[in-house]
Structure 1
Amino acid sequence: MQERSSVAELANLLRRELNRYSPGEKLPSSRALVERFRVSPVTVSRALAALAAEGLVVTRPGAGAFRADRPRPRNRPGDTSWQEVALSAEPPGEAVPRSVDASGVLTTLAAPPPGVIELNGGYLHPTLQPERAMAAALARAGRRPGAWGRPPTDGLPELRAWFAREIGGPEGAVAASDVLITAGGQSALTTALHALAGPGAPVLVESPSYPGMLAAARACGLRPVPVPADTDGVRTDLLAQAFRASGARVFVCQPLFQNPTGAVLSAERRAEVLRVAREAGAFVVEDDFARRLVHEDAPPLPPTLAADDPDGVVVHICSLTKITSASLRVGALAARGTALERLRAIQVVDSFFVPRPLQEAALELVGAPAWPRHLRTVATELRARRETLLTALRRELPAAAEVGHVPYGGYHLWLRLPDGTDEWGLAAAALRAGVAVAPGRPYFSAEPPAPHLRVGFASASGPAELEAGARRLRTAFPDLADG
């Protein structure tokens, strides 16, 4: 059982037993609870903290936990119906609805219920995360002189230099002065959208595309305009048409292991994307989220678009989060010219700076001998998991195992479902069968051309869970088992 499930279960058990104790009476010691429920001391501490937050118990250092004298009164539910009008009423001339659908993002962030196999997650399973290396890095970072002081608003110089080398390659195409440290990739993406396009403006996006980017664009008051993509990346002939037809000045793309298709932008189209954007006087926001999630059998990776762009067309985004942990939210923005100044101003206003201990920990981590070993381990594991899941899906669901592109990086497969398939119904039935998958609809900013399913292989515990997940999908939707 995962730690988060154990904490919730123990808190529920203790909550039900509170009536055995009088107000102010001491509860059993933490050691007694550990022995009785066969959980760790950390689980006991977190469960008691949850009850204390509800006002049901009081913890006293050195004395233990006690039943609260009286339960904390519940807040009287008020009438919030007025907010529906205030949040939805659009003044004359407002071009974009203000409501934001975050369901596609929440799908990848929410922890699945106990017993459900997670094939819709966007992060590495804890067994793939460098937990020991991160803990050691955080401990060393906390002892650095000035680690708890105020950092430079642009980020620590050493960390900016490390990201510049990662983005610009050995030729040094990106300077440390071109880089801003951000609180992860999503924060960087939102900052870029705020900086580069005004409210109501169109922004070109790949179709299909990452739901978190679509939600961020709409939250910024922008209008996503889809540009179809295939196994070689965005269709550059249609990209040029979209710039002319929409008047957009921003194109957001994931050239490497695109989410959800897994496609890599071909060499011919890389040059064409930059040419088309330059002629349109537009920016290319390069979301390089998966470069460190390369698989063991991958050919040499192409450089970033930013490394081939001396003119400031590309605004580059990358992060350490995907290759480490959802909680290590340290990323980078790279840009040149006036755009960099605007990005800097917006980031300072939005968040001041990324906490210095987190930046120091990131520096310690990427400079440790464990870092290259971790990258090699993940590359090997992701390749093995990809093949395990692909084989299991082809065996269990031959009618749904049409994968448009088998990626050599990233953490998911993009399945083309038979025409007429109810992808939402399939996802709901799969959850009832004990496996979480992502329907394809949230990945399209307009009407999807066909039903799809995104199935991941990084958030499961290992090959056995991946094979079990495929079997549960067969149970949930037996029609897809007919080849």
Structure 2
Amino acid sequence: MQERSSVAELAGILRTELNRYSPGEKLPSSRALVDRYRVSPVTVSRALAALRAEGLVVTRPGAGAFRAARPRAAEAPRPGDTSWQEVALSVETSGESVPRSVDASGVLMTLAVPPPGALELHGGYLHPSLQPERALAAALARAGRRPGAWDRPPIDGLSELRAWFAAEIGGRAGALAPSEVLITAGGQSALTTALRALAPPGAPVLVESPTYPGALAAARAFGLRPVPVPVDADGVRTDLLEQALRATGARVFLCQPLFQNPTGAVLSAERRREVLRVAREAGAFVIEDDFARRLAHEDAGPLPATLAADDPDGVVVHVCSLTKVTSASLRVGALAARGPALERLRAIQVVDSFFVPRPLQEAALELVGSPAWPRHLRTVAAELRARREALATGVRRDLPELALRHVPPGGFHLWLRLPDGADEAALTAAALRAGVSVAPGRPYFCAEPPAPHLRLGFASAAGAGELAEGLRRLRLACDEVLR
């Protein structure tokens, strides 16, 4: 059971049992609760903290936890009138061509924590059992002891960390210099900075279709107009990309060439060359979101170089991070660019956030330089392959009406096509009622989707057993909605 589920369940049990105690009476000790409910001391501590935050218990250092005295009923605060904000947030100037509202629903969908007891097959982060928790803790401890660890870092990031990312992005040929890399607060931050830097409000930006909802939300939040370019098994359709660049006059194309989210497609060698050619001829930038390079599976084989490594002319602006392969809280990433674009990226990042906190950069540097790092990558590669195979096999055996047309050798998800006319919203709702959280396909399209889809993730599950149980629950939902 995941830690957050254990905490919620224990808090619920203790909340019910509080009626057995008088106000001020001492609750069982933490050790007793650990033994009684077969949970960890951390779970007990977090459950008691939740009850303390609700005002139900008080804790006294060295004495234990006690039922809180019954609070005197407080008068409910008078609700204010915030209706004026609708006008203030919506008034547009005469030259404003895009709405000012921000739709974060697609992003929130991928970040949402399912209710207690529901299995998570929609998430985009590693399950705690796959995270390098010991290595991260050791790296953070070593980082805290580094001289100047709490000093202000260089604006562009620590030079050693920039050099490491430059080598990772540029490959063995050394196609990228450390001076062409900026350290960012994760991949999403890098992506939003790139979009703001390269396209003015109201401009079209070409995106793969389907694509990552966070990219669509970021583009729209800055007043950009996403224009879809279809993806097939070999990546983006470069013939349609060329047409879209001519038709729209767009100067930015955002893509994920490796293990694309959500399709898992890898851009073919021929199309890699075509993407760079048509973008260069159109005078357009290519934002390369390389989010999944460190999520290659054990059987992936040699990976293609980044687009940035094959581009000496500054067409490609490269985005990557350490977050996906470590922890959602290690928000350290990189932006790589050349020429005047780099200066604009740097300026926007400074205005937005000044810099990435130095202790986090130091910890990241300690982590990637430790012997634990390659071991962790090997472990993740093997585990993701095993979970992918378990999920793909189960889908084909138990859910044959959900078409699985491509099994990617990297990433953390499968992309399933539903039968024509299926109501994906109804299916995801039924799945949640059955106790499994899955992602509907609609948020991955910036225009009308060609068909209903589901995205199933396998990285956020505890293992093969949980994946099998998730498919069993999804089967119940399919029987309800697709019959």
Q: Give me the TM-score of the superposition, normalised by structure 1.
A: 0.93
Listed as ranges, the matches of 1:100-115 within 5 Å are 100-115=102-117
Map of 1:169 onto structure 2: 171
CA deviations over 1:112-138 (Å, ceiling 9, x no partner): 222222111101111111111111111
* Paired position in structure 2 for 1:418: 419
- Deviation (angstroms), 1:37: 4.5
Matches within 5 A, 1:336-347: 336-347=338-349
Q: Which amino acid aligns with 1:210?
A: Y
When structure 1 is superposed on structure 2, of 89-98 and 11-20 the one drifting more is 11-20
Report the counterpart of residue 404 of structure 2 in structure 1.
Answer: 403
SS in 1 for 2:273: helix
Is structure 2 residue 458 aligned with structure 1 residue 454? no
Within-5 A mapping of 1:97-176: 97-176=99-178
Corresponding residue of 1:6: 6
Question: 8 Å contact 2:396–2:404 — kept in the other structure?
Answer: no
Does the 8 Å contact 2:427/2:481 carry over to 1?
A: no
Task: Tell me the residue number matched to 1:276.
Answer: 278
CA contact (8 A) 2:253 2:287 kept: yes
2:192 corresponds to which residue?
A: 190
CA distance in 2, matches of 1:15, 1:117: 24
Deviation, 1:22, is 3.7
Matches of 1:28 and 1:78 in 2, distance apart?
A: 42
Q: Is the 8 A contact 1:163 1:179 kept in 2?
A: yes
Aligned length: 480
Tell me the distance in 2 between the aligned counterparts of 1:5 and 1:474. 23
What's the counterpart of residue 262 of structure 1?
264
Deviates more, 1:56-65 or 1:175-184: 56-65
* Distance (whole Å) between structure 1 residues aligned to residue 165 and residue 393 of structure 2: 37
Displacement after TM superposition at 1:276 (Å) = 1.0
CA RMSD of aligned residues (A): 2.2
Partner of 2:306: 304
Superposed CA offset, 1:341-389 (max 9, x none)? 1111111111121111111111111111111111111111111211111
Aligned equivalents of 1:39, 1:462: Cα separation in 2:
20
Partner of 1:48: 48
Deviates more, 1:111-120 or 1:155-164: 111-120
How far is the alpha carbon of 1:7 from its aligned partner? Answer: 2.5
2:317 alignment counterpart:
315
Per-residue deviation at 1:36? 5.0
Comparing 51-60 with 243-252, which one deviates more in the overlay? 51-60
1:34 deviates by: 4.0
**1:477 match:** 478
Q: Indicate the SS of the match to 2:193.
A: helix
Q: Distance in 1 between matches of 2:100 and 2:134?
A: 43
Counterpart AA for 2:87: V
Give a deviation string over 1:157-212, Cα, whole Å, max 9, x none.
11111110000001110111111111110111111111111111111100111001
> Residues 37-91 of structure 1, C-alpha deviation per residue, up to 9 Å, x if partnerless?
5443323332333344445555454454553684695644333333333323333
2:243 match: 241
SS in 1 for 2:320: strand
Secondary structure of 1:477's aligned partner: helix
Gaps of 5+ in 2: none
The equivalent residue for 2:218 is 216
Query: Partners in 1 of 2:396 and 2:246 — Cα distance?
Result: 42
Contact 1:474 1:480 in 2 (8 A): no
Identity across matched positions, percent = 80
Residue identity in the other structure for 1:477: C
Q: Which residue identity is paired with 1:318?
A: C
Residue 30 (structure 1) shift: 3.8
Asked if structure 1 preserves the Cα contact closer than 8 Å seen for 2:295 and 2:325, the reply is: yes
Structure-2 residue corresponding to 1:295: 297
Corresponding letter in the other structure for 2:330? L
Structure 1: distance between partners of 2:279 and 2:168: 24
Contact 2:422 2:482 in 1 (8 A): no
5 Å-filtered alignment, 1:56-135, equals 56-65=56-65, 67=68, 70=71, 75-135=77-137
Cα distance in 1 for residues equivalent to 2:192 and 2:23: 51
Please, which moves more after superposition, 26-35 or 221-230?
26-35
Aligned equivalents of 2:441, 2:461: Cα separation in 1: 20
**Contact kept? 2:5, 2:117, Cα under 8 Å:** no
Q: Counterparts of 1:377-388 in structure 2 under 5 Å?
A: 377-388=379-390
In 2, the alpha carbon distance for the partners of 1:59 and 1:153 equals 43
